[in-house]
A and B are shown apart, each in its own frame.
Chain A
Amino acid sequence: MDFLRPASWEEALAAKAEHPTAVPIAGGTDVMVEINFDHRRPEYLLDLNRIGDLYEWEVGEDSVRLGASVPYTKIMENLRAELPGLALASHTVASPQIRNRGGVGGNLGTASPAGDAHPALLAAGAEVEVASAARGTRLIPVDDFYTGVKRNALQPDELIRAVHIKKADGPQQYSKVGTRNAMVIAVCAFGLALHPETRTVRTGIGSAAPTPVRAKAAEEFLNAALEEGGFWDNGKIITPSVAKRFAELCSAACNPIDDVRGTASYRRHAVGVMARRTLTWTWESYRGTRRASEGAA
């Protein structure tokens, strides 16, 4: 095995171009487990720890450009206002020690259907910025990034530079089912974001299909129902039948399997419950801010 230690982003891309089989290692919280257990013996490890750019984030007008290696702890501490869904999801990852090392770039690299960043990214709306020495930079919409179980849209010579995530324009929530609070890989998970500016709702489902997915039919149903009822303007409580139908459609978007963590039918059920709850939480919060701003006006 060879240990490649590029000192800059350009050097990293050059190394990846020269050795396309090289396995990038950032926080190592996925890679090292595989090496420790002899599940993986890469020819080259490509260390990304020395590339400072990957640990930085920039808050722009509409989005946050989050460096691939920014650890979950930093997201929780610094980006709760801009990226509430991702900050909540980050807080559910493993333990403090793991959150101090692991980040969204590694979560995307592994592309596990159970990865906690994914539902939050899907719900918020995001693009993955990847680059190669040969072809430069391209932006992949996060919806197109997950291509199969633990597969993603990266080419062998590409690395993830950053993720561009839309800044929250309304309440966001993240919910996860597991046996306890810490150190739990999701049995299933659900992310929801209200986007009052566009009067839309977006979702993300984790661990209930071969890849992280959005519940698009559920989103469309809810968008139409909220529009028809004038809910965005009148700020009324969402009709129980609407919430129920939304939950059913979210369950229907799942394509889960039975495994050690849970059965397919439990996952489908739990996703529906989380969909209804997160909708209630976010909508209540939206109504609250509406009332507050009306009160101020």
Chain B
Amino acid sequence: MTEEIIRLERVVKEFRRGDTAVRAVDGVSLTIGRGEFVSIMGKSGSGKSTLLHLMSGLQQATQGSVRLLGRELSQLKDDDLTLLRRTHVGFIFQFFNLLPTLTALENVALPLLLAKVRTSVAEAKALELLKTVGLTSRAAHKPDELSGGQMQRVAIARALAGDPPLLFADEPTGNLDSASGEEILLLLKQMQIDRGQTIVMVTHDAKAAAYGDRLITMRDGRVLDDQLTGGMVG
């Protein structure tokens, strides 16, 4: 049995607008173990992104319990939650979320600087990460001087900056052509195989989902199916 890294119990997330409420996540229970690569699929509006936000502590559940690395998120103070996220969680968004005025290197180094790491150390680490994602030659480029695939690779490098054991990715290939998308997926897979990273990835693309070794299908805020698809990883 691998170490449990995420545990959700009867989690509900409701969004209220006036007197109507939308149940984006409607009673989800599941656990994810260290080193798993979990793909989440489901139709638009089925609650995938919300589920990811709840797991990573970006949003608070309305009901139920979310445990991340053994900590009950609803019981953490804001500062502690921020610290837990900064040290243990990397998040890759569909739209890259890079800061336009910073270079690739600075974007990757930023989370480290925010965590009070010395500039020289942070930049050395950032450079090493850019090398991992194959972008050493673009270190001094601003986001608008990079292709979509390159921006997403910078975003991955940034998500990895604090060596987080957990990586969340929301449609990381959604905006890329299939060749760049495959590079990103391979990179994620390598993180899992070589670094033992735990990865939770939302995608609407079955070919992308196939990089995971477990597939969760959502419908109307619920888990419709939870299927192990993994075998030996070579």
The reply to whether chain A is a binding partner of chain B is: no
